[in-house]
Amino acid sequence: MNASELGIVELQRALAQRELSCADHVEALIARTEAAAGLNGYVDFDPAPLRAQARQADAQRAAGTALPLLGIPIALKDNIDTADLPTSAGTGALRGKRPKADAEIVRRLKAAGAIVAGKANMHELAFGITCNNAVTGAARNPWAPDRIPGGSSGGSAVVVAAGLVPAAIGTDTGASVRLPAALCGVAGLRPTVGRVPGRGIAPIASTRDTAGPIARSVEDLALLDAVLTGDATPVPDASLAGLRLGIPRERFWGELDAPVAAVMDDALQRLRAAGVVLVEVALPGLDALNDATGFPVALFEFLDEMPRYLRDAGHGVDIAQLLAGIGSPDVAGILRPLLAGGAIPEAVYRGALETRGQLQRLYRDTFESNAVRALVFPTSPLTARPIGQDETVEFNGRQVPTFLAFIRNTDPGSNAGIPGISLPAGIASDGLPVGLALDAPAGSDRQLLGIAAAIERVLPRAAMPSIS
């Protein structure tokens, strides 16, 4: 048994059957984490408290305590408050600072018996998708350490994909759980906005933000979703025979990196062979609605909500100090102008919320009028690109904006607040992972997990990269 390759449910079985102790498992993870230090997946990892938590979990198990995550190590993105570990949101002004209390989702994880393994690296203040952070250093993709892992929850995907922890919690505003999951070859869930409590998480925008799990299987995602949300509704078994999935061909499939296109063609063949009915659908006006919603909402709400978060956390840092301490040029270029006359006017924000309502109706009408359970598409149109290409990347022979290229397919569903999931779909010809995404109607998260579990069974089994 390779303890570092175990997912949550597999680890639970091994612990229950006494094939492994929590202490033994943690020792294996510590050794692998030390061997993979060059990936820079963690920004805060201390073996001593991890060992202490494991010993306590073993004692609880011996005493007959039964909890859904007892003794399971979980990594947390560094924008999720932990009272006993610093929470920096990847930015200089908060480095080394500990908030007053755990985030609500951390409280829930601990109440379920989880062990906090450490804090994972991220794009600074979660405003980016490369995880090339000038303050904490770049997180590196385990499949190719010169490549980005995606972001902003890049470190969370790195530590899961590299076998340093069975699962992690990230946050997703436009792509930030699903994109790194896809680029690192693991699974990631973005819940419907509002299902997961946001108290104690450094915000971008409450209208768009949600925490979500990254793991090695849909079964593990479903277990974590139940703990995070308090929704223990059983995940229904889904049959692929006759299942109707929408293919938004023109908008989401129109231009793909050649290696991505090949993996996606194979995935669609597997779905058809399993009996899935693929229905061509259109989302007219999607881009205009999405563009009018995304940044106005994010930038207005950030300037409104971040000061409140800083006060509640007790950091002794105000918004001006926070923005002055930004180290990453791409993030500074977005946020510093907000305090220099570049704030989003409230009228523009109110208009963006109205547009968001239209975007939500477009999705709702698309699902209903085509009688499809979910939309299926490539999580990212391209595979991971080299670290340092923060402004532009090569895409089909031309240079395109890095941020917009990578969030092209995930951003609209995020702005609509609907649930989305990314599954490992295979390894491309360039040796890098590719993700298959599903978006579903608002509130149908548990049904989406059932569909994803059925699809997962017909896709190539996810592999784990070697760590030298």
- What is each CA distance from 184 to 51, 399, 418, 463, in whole angstroms? 27, 23, 23, 10
Calpha distance 234→251 (Å, rounded): 33
Calpha distance 232→327 (Å, rounded): 41
Calpha distance 127→288 (Å, rounded): 22
Among 385, 394, 365, 468, residue whose Cα is nearest residue 428? 385
176 carries an active-site annotation: yes
Helices and strands (DSSP H and E) totals, the chain: 16, 15
What is the phi/psi pair of residue 425, to 5°?
-110, -10
152 carries an active-site annotation: yes
Other CB atoms within a 10 A radius of the CB of residue 431 amount to 12
Strand-pairing partners, residue 133, are: 137
* Three-state secondary structure call for residue 251: helix
Catalytically annotated residue among 4, 21, 156, 176: 176
What is the phi/psi pair of residue 440, to 5°?
-135, 170
Catalytically annotated residue among 4, 21, 77, 153: 77
The angle, 0 to 180 degrees and rounded to 10, between the axes of the packed helices 22-35 and 47-62 is 160
For 7: left if phi > 0, alpha if psi spans -120 to 50, otherwise beta; the answer is beta
Which tokens hold the place of 53?
């938590």
Contacts of 425 (CB under 8 A, 6+ apart): 263, 264, 266, 267, 433, 434, 435, 436, 459, 460
* Three-state secondary structure call for residue 392: strand
414 carries an active-site annotation: no
Catalytically annotated residue among 4, 21, 88, 152: 152
Calpha distance 136→115 (Å, rounded): 24
List residues with catalytic annotation: 77, 152, 176
